[in-house]
Amino acid sequence: MLKPFRLLRPGTVAEAGEELERHDDAAAIYAGGAELLLLMRQGLLQPEYLIDIKHIPELHGIRRENGGISIGAAVTHWDLERDGEIRKHYPLLAEAESHVGNIRVRNQGTLGGNLCFADPHADPATPLLVLDAEVELGSTRGSRVMPLDDFLLGMYETALEPGEILARVRVEPLPPGWGVAYQRIERFFRPTLNAAVAARSGGNVVNEVRMAVGCVGPRAVRLPDLEGRIRGLTVEDAVEAIRGARELLEEVLMPVDDLLGSAAYKLDITVVALERALRTSMMGGMGD
């Protein structure tokens, strides 16, 4: 049984921010509730007020915008994995979304809830880092935009300030000619580890590359240094470079032991997942 609470249903981002300011720690933002209601049932959270943000039109819809796409924070995983535009132009995100939890979690859970909860064992953040996603945050003070990379601070920690909510996520498509691949290592419903790679091949050479890895440490991490090391190499040399980058990976991923695997195991598997994802993206990418 859930402890009683009061439900608030703001109609705008500013109103939601106002409720958050008014009730402070006594209130929690409620989107799909896939995560929040579980925490409440376990007694880990006992908000007096749930601020239901699903009635805020600004948080809905997948819109084309300045050559990119803008996704409302309240859009569900279910809708994202099926969206024609996303499947066509952002297959890396569509693929990752189609692996979240199970069909019921995807139907109920939202992208915003996923990013704001900031569980290290999550799917969407990893591909979104490769796609250079930006997030738009809103409050009574207006809105601000920042790279997702700056939004994700650590385990269950984001750059959201008191009174602020995540409104939208913006992504630009990759230039034509890039291949993408998503690797998800799983034993249970959440990913043990994931890797997302986008690459533009010139014959056998890695002309351009972007890589990110999730679930290993406190947050998903983009790997600019490793990208720099393998740009311009042949696939085989790039794979060797990845295998030789254990120290670098350990430094930037900050692996931790957890229920899904030891730090050493996750580091080993990171190398495998990156190698596989690079090879697939160099061959034109997923979908084969």
Partner 1 sequence: MTETLEPVATVQTLPVSISVNGQEWSGEVPVEEVLLDFLRLRLGLTGSKRSCNSEVCGACTVLVDGRPVSACNYLAFEAGGRAVTTVEGLAVDGRLDPIQEAFVDQVAAQCGFCTSGQLMATRALLDENPTPTYDQMAEWLSGNICRCGTYPAIARAIAQVTRATTAEHESIHEEA
Interface with ligand FAD by CB under 6 A: which residues?
28-36, 38, 53, 73, 100-101, 105, 108-110, 112-114, 116-117, 122-124, 160, 165-166, 189-191
8 Å CB contact between 212 and 195: yes
Count residues contacting partner 1 (CB under 8 A)? 29
140's tokens: 């009574």
Q: Contact between 101 and partner 1 (CB under 8 A)? A: yes
105 binds partner 1 (CB under 8 A): yes
Smallest distance, Å, CB 32 to partner 1? 9
Q: Which is nearer to partner 1, 37 or 252 (CB)?
A: 37
The reply to whether 182 sits near partner 1 by the rule CB under 8 A is no
174: which 2 tokens? 């990759």
Of 11 and 202, the one with the shorter C-beta distance to ligand FAD is 11
- Smallest separation, CB 152 to partner 1 (Å): 20
- The correct pick among 66, 102, 175, 203 for binding partner 1 (CB under 8 A) is 102
Q: What angle do CA 47, 148, 167 make, to 5 degrees?
A: 50
Question: Under 8 Å CB-to-CB from 80, ≥6 apart: which residues?
Answer: 62, 71, 86, 93, 94, 97, 111
Of 36-44, 113-121, 164-172, 253-261, the segment contacting partner 1 by CB under 8 A is 36-44
Starting at the edge strand found earlier in the chain, the sheet holding 191-202 runs 178-186, 191-202, 205-214, 221-222
**In whole angstroms, what is the distance from residue 273 CA to residue 195 CA?**
6
Residue 271 is encoded by which pair of tokens?
């190398």
Residue 22 binds to partner 1 (criterion: CB under 8 A): no
Instruction: By CB under 8 A, name the one of 11, 189, 225, 236 that touches partner 1.
Output: 189
**What is the DSSP secondary-structure string of 251-282?**
HHH----BTTB-HHHHHHHHHHHHHHHHHHHH
Residue 24 in tokens: 């402070």
Name the residues that contact partner 1, by CB under 8 A.
1-7, 25-26, 28, 33-34, 37-38, 41, 45-48, 50, 78, 101-105, 107-108, 189
